[in-house]
Amino acid sequence: MRLVPDSAPGVEDAALPPEHQRIMAAVRQAAGPVATRAIGEMLGLDTVVRGKLEPLRGKLTKPADRGWLHKRPDGTFTVRP
């Protein structure tokens, strides 16, 4: 069973695990495309050490692969409409 389901019409953020719901809320709160470091700061993570951001980057990639987020060529993320 997948923890992060595919995005589809009618499927809401509540279908995501709580940690991914927080990530989605942080990306939505941003005024535009947002970098991993900025999302980490919004979530209260220690963003000074790059190694602390790698797990978050992985958590951003799953929703991007499943249609919840859009990963832009510059590495920033936006919510898919």
Each residue's pLDDT, cut to its tens digit, for the chain (81 residues) gives: 578 888 988 889 999 999 999 999 999 999 899 999 999 999 999 888 878 899 999 999 999 999 999 999 999 999 987
Q: Is residue 8 part of a domain?
A: no
Query: What DSSP assignment string belongs to 1-69?
Result: --SSPPP-TT--GGGS-HHHHHHHHHHHHSSS-B-HHHHHHHTT---SSHHHHHHHHHHHHHHHHTTSE
Q: How much is the pTM?
A: 0.87
Q: Is residue 3 part of a domain?
A: no
DSSP assignment, residue 5? P
Q: Is residue 11 part of a domain?
A: no
- Please name the amino acid found at residue 38: A
We report the CATH number of the domain holding residue 33 as 1.10.10.10
The predicted structure's pLDDT at residue 59: 93
Structural element, H or E, at residue 79: strand 77-79
Q: How many distinct structural domains can be found in the chain? A: 1
Q: How far apart are CA 65 and CA 47, in angstroms?
A: 24
Residue-range definition of the domain harbouring residue 25: 16-79
The predicted structure's pLDDT at residue 3: 83
